[in-house]
Structure formats: C-alpha cells, structure tokens
Amino acid sequence: MKYLKVRIPGETIEIPYLKIKGKKGDQRCIIAGGMHGDEVNGIALVQRFLEYCKKKDIENHLRGELIIFPILNESGFKNHQRNVAYDNKDLNRCFNKKGKTASIKIANALEKQFFSKCDIAIDCHDSGKRNILIPHTRVHGYEKRTCAECTKEMAKAFGSKLIIERDGKRGMLAVEMMKQHGIPVLTIEIGGALKVADKFLDKGLEGIINVLKYVRMLPGNPKIPQKQYYLRDRYGVLAKDSGLIRFKKKLGQRVHRGDFIGDIYVPTKAKSYNLISPVCGLLFSLQHSDQIAKGEIMYSILEDKKCHVRRQTVQHFEEIKNIEM
C-alpha cells in the first residue's frame, strides 16, 4: 500500500492507494471509493474489485495501469459523516478550487498527482445515510458542450439498465476533470443507508470489469443488457408530514399510477395515510429509515412509457442503442 500525503496545519493526511500494472499497454484508469464518508457501498465495491484482481491475477491480463483508492475520505468515514471531518466540506465540491482548507488541499493533490494524469476514472458512490438506490450510472449534461459522448459511452459499457443525466455542480470531480483535462469520470451509484448491498455489488463489479473490457484494458467484450434507458429526470414524492413510514412495494419494482406503495402514520394527527403512486415507472429509491421528516423524499419513481398515463418527464426518457465494439 502506498499513500498520498497531504499536509494540513498540525497533521499529515494519508490517502491510501494501490497500483496494478500490466505487462503491456499505457492506458491508466483510476478506480476510487469513499469520496463521501457515509457511502459504504462505494467503499465495498472497491474492496470487491480488489478481491477480484487478486483472485484473477489481473496483472497477467491487464493492459495498462490501474490506480485504486480504497477510500478518499477516511476522516468522514471514521466519523460516520458525508463531509471531510477536518473542515466539514464536501470533497466532491472542492476540485479545481483555490483555498487552504483540508478538503481543497486533498482535492488539489488528487487532481495534480493522479486524476489529471489518467485516461479514464470510475468514482464509486451510494446515496448516503437515508435512501437506497438501485444500481445505475450518472453522467452530466454539460458534456454535450465539451465532447460528443465521453462518459455516456462508458456508462453504456458499464451495463446497468439505467443511465441518468444530472446537472453537474462546480467542484465535482467528474465535472472538473472533463472541463480542465478532458478526462471522462464515470459516477456509479449503488445502494445506500449505511448497509452493504451484496446483490447490487455483484452488478457493480461486473460493471467495472465491463468498462475495462470496453476500453481494451482487459480481454473480452462487456456484458450489456439488450435494453438500456437514458433518463434526465425522476419524480420524487415528498412527505407532507413527519411520521413513520412503511413500504409494501420493493426497490426496483414496477408500479402504475394509483398503485398502493405503502403508508405513513402521522402521530400528531393519530392517523395513517396510504401512499399512492402518482405515475407509472420503476421505484428508483426508497427511504430506508422508518422515521421521515416533513419535506423529505419518501420514494422516487423513474417514469417510463409503458403506461397510458404520461407526465412531462416522459419526454426526458429514451431507449438508447447498444454501443459498438
């Protein structure tokens, strides 16, 4: 194990990393987990990939070099929090920024010494403490202004059925690496709620291997589903009151408008209310905690075209063509 050392007043932060170098090729890929300290599935996915590398003696098949960060934000992980503990800042909003805080120093060191020198990168996340997400990849709409496909092709190669376009924010690793260096960074989202989702991680591991096969760093062709969907919106349902929530539908299950999702008990009114789906689609995220606050998202639905009932967001849903090898 090697360490990237970042000095802050009174302390040196050490970020662990490993290098795996193949016998041929010069491509360089970074795979990282733990950008946010409360996202355990990103960390677990990198662990699973490291186990795969050891089991398969990957250096004997690899073309190029892998740089693997098991955890980027150790202080947040130790304190069970999203942000870097030294300054309480979101590390994934600190890239390409000026300043002397710990998070900015960490981000600048990672960019200068590693990410700016790679060809592609994979950044592994989950939804944090409260929600659970079905496995998917994320790309950012700003890329249309900078390149033709970029991470969208990596996302298709990853092989999840869902690819979601989100608005990128300044300081994000994926945003800044593309803007500053033209380097595609694929964001993976799997699970959440501080629970390791083993079945989801199997899909995540297969996805990382798929990407490495797609860029010819590993032999073989990626396993891609017959249909993949590219979405630009999701429909989140907010809690109108604080209460105790109970779901009857499961994550990833298809629902129709009018379906019974579950119920919420509001103690201030001593009443229970049914949760009825307002649209048709897939249950994309569920609130994991039984207790929910007013204004929090209880669940979200990725609306599709399989129902006769349609909202405006259906215009942002498209079935995409398979990538060409």
Q: State pLDDT tens for residues 229-250.
A: 887 767 889 999 999 999 999 9
Same fold for the pair 2-225 and 234-314: no
Confidence band, pLDDT 50/70/90 cuts, at residue 99 = very high
CA separation for the pair 276, 297 (Å, rounded): 14
CA separation for the pair 302, 141 (Å, rounded): 18
C-alpha to C-alpha distances, 77 to 37, 136, 264, nearest whole angstrom: 4, 23, 32
Does residue 317 carry a pLDDT above 50? no
Confidence band, pLDDT 50/70/90 cuts, at residue 128 = confident
pLDDT in tens, 110-127: 999 999 999 999 999 998
Poorest-confidence range of 12-21, 25-34, 219-228, 230-239? Answer: 230-239
- Phi and psi for 256 in degrees, rounded to 5? -115, 160
Tell me the whole-structure pTM to 2 decimals: 0.86
Confidence band, pLDDT 50/70/90 cuts, at residue 150 = confident
- Give 160 or 90, the one with higher predicted confidence: 90
Does residue 56 carry a pLDDT above 80? yes
Does residue 313 carry a pLDDT above 50? no
Task: Report the CATH fold assignment for 234-314.
Answer: OB fold (Dihydrolipoamide Acetyltransferase, E2P) (2.40.50)
* Token output for 273: 């209310």
Confidence band, pLDDT 50/70/90 cuts, at residue 132 = confident
Confidence band, pLDDT 50/70/90 cuts, at residue 322 = low
Does residue 312 carry a pLDDT above 50? no
- Helix 40-55, helix 198-214: angle, nearest 10: 60
Does residue 319 carry a pLDDT above 80? no
* Token output for 132: 């659970």
Poorest-confidence range of 73-77, 146-150, 244-248? Answer: 146-150
- Helix 198-214, helix 151-158: angle, nearest 10: 130
Does residue 309 carry a pLDDT above 70? no
Does residue 73 carry a pLDDT above 60? yes
CA separation for the pair 322, 159 (Å, rounded): 10
* Selection from 124, 319, 126 nearest residue 211 by Cα: 124
In percent, the amount of the chain with pLDDT more than 90 equals 66
Does residue 284 carry a pLDDT above 80? yes
Q: Are 34 and 77 in contact (CB under 8 A)?
A: yes
Confidence band, pLDDT 50/70/90 cuts, at residue 259 = very high
* Selection from 124, 107, 103 nearest residue 115 by Cα: 107
pLDDT in the model for residue 226:
85
* Token output for 221: 């062709």
Residue with tokens 């201030």: 268
Instruction: Provide the CA 248 distance to its chain's centre, in angstroms.
Output: 26
Per CATH, the homologous superfamily of domain 2-225 is Zn peptidases (3.40.630.10)
pLDDT in the model for residue 316:
46
7 bridge partner residues: 12
Q: Are 79 and 144 in contact (CB under 8 A)?
A: no
Give, as one character, the DSSP assignment of residue 172. Answer: -
For the chain, the average pLDDT equals 89
Q: Are 173 and 164 in contact (CB under 8 A)?
A: no
228 burial class (0-12, 13-18, 19+ CB within 10 angstroms)? buried
Confidence band, pLDDT 50/70/90 cuts, at residue 133 = confident
- Give 316 or 5, the one with higher predicted confidence: 5
Q: Where are the domains of the chain?
A: 2-225, 234-314
Q: Are 292 and 273 in contact (CB under 8 A)?
A: no
* Token output for 28: 């360089």
